[in-house]
Amino acid sequence: MGPSILIAQNLSKVVPSAEGDLTILHELSLDLKQGDSLAIVGASGSGKSTLLGLLAGLDLPSAGTVTLAGNDLGSLDEDRRAQVRAEHVGFVFQSFQLLDSLSALENVMLPLELDDRPDAREHARSLLERVGLGQRLSHLPRQLSGGEQQRVAIARAFAADPAVLFADEPTGNLDSHTGERISDLLFELNQERGTTLVLVTHDERLAKRCRRLIHLEAGRLVTPLEP
């Protein structure tokens, strides 16, 4: 395993609410090495998506620091954080966030084109084939099933060969066979390219395949259960 790629120190997130300030994440720390895999598990509302967003630099903590590929995210402005994300991070959102007016192929090509890759189309096509969507290239998101949209989102997240792939419930909308295929693919990339995986999941089989596992309860880390 390589050097540290993702370090969180005493991360907290406090949000205002009608009943006063609500702490949704309490002083969480972790250190992830390049090529590692981490499952984040816990009940609905325990803070998993919040943590993922902070680790990926999509959101800023109320206190604490995140260092991603050597960059202290809290010290960067929005634009610079976006650059760090574009360079090092793939993200699969719980709600996919595909662009509605672009086809499956175009959605996956987008990060490659932003990266000036001359083989954007071919590479995007091969990724979509790998997630089993070779026959759906020209479909718009609304013409795809939920599980198919999820697979496009996964292909898009892989596209720029990120150092860290963050995925929020990557198998959440998939039947168990397709889920297994996607899970195989995630771990193939982890092996082949040393992509660090950070996965939020309710899928026990997927969680068990990760080398490390943390369990959140009401925003706190409960005893880490090593798989």
Residue that the structure tokens 């963050």 belong to: 166
Instruction: Note whether 207 and 201 are within 8 A (CB).
Output: yes
Stretch that binds ligand ATP, among 47-55, 140-148, 188-196, 204-212 (CB under 6 A): 47-55
Burial category of 78 from C-beta neighbours within 10 Å (exposed 0-12, middle 13-18, buried 19 and up): exposed
Residue with tokens 């959101």: 59
Can residue 24 be called a binding residue for ligand ATP (CB under 6 A)?
Answer: yes
Among 30, 35, 49, 90, binds ligand ATP (CB under 6 A): 49
Q: Which of 37, 39, 46, 185 binds ligand ATP (CB under 6 A)?
A: 46
What is the C-alpha to C-alpha distance for residues 67 and 7, in angstroms, rounded to an integer?
A: 5
The residues pairing with 31 across neighbouring beta strands, listed in sequence order, are 7
Interface mask (CB under 6 A) for ligand ATP, residues 61-100, using x and -?
---------------------------------x------
CB 72 within 8 A of CB 64: no
Stretch that binds ligand ATP, among 30-38, 39-47, 124-132, 170-178 (CB under 6 A): 39-47
Q: Look up residue 155 and give its two tokens.
A: 């292909």
Residue 50 interaction partner, one of ligand ATP, Mg ion, none, beta carbon < 5-8 Å per kind: ligand ATP
d(CA 158, CA 111): 10
195 binds, among ligand ATP, Mg ion, none (CB under 5 to 8 A by kind): none
Residue number, 29 or 95, with CB nearest to ligand ATP = 95
Candidate residues 38, 48, 89, 144; the one interacting with ligand ATP per rule CB under 6 A: 48
| CA dist., res. 6 & res. 3, Å (int) | 9
CA-CA distance, 65 to 12, in Å (whole number)?
9
For the chain, what is the total number of helices (H) and then of strands (E)? 7, 10
Judged by CB under 6 A, the stretch of 37-45, 80-88, 102-110, 133-141 that binds ligand ATP is 37-45
Which lies closer to ligand ATP via its Cβ, residue 163 or residue 198? 198
DSSP H or E stretch at residue 8: strand 4-15
Residue 216 CB, nearest approach to ligand ATP (Å): 7
Decide: is 47 part of the binding site for ligand ATP (CB under 6 A): yes
Closest approach, Cβ 113 to ligand ATP, in A, equals: 31
d(CA 2, CA 194): 9
Among 49, 149, 150, 171, binds Mg ion (CB under 5 A): 49
The site for Mg ion (CB under 5 A) is made up of 49
The site for ligand ATP (CB under 6 A) is made up of 15, 17, 24, 42, 44-50, 94
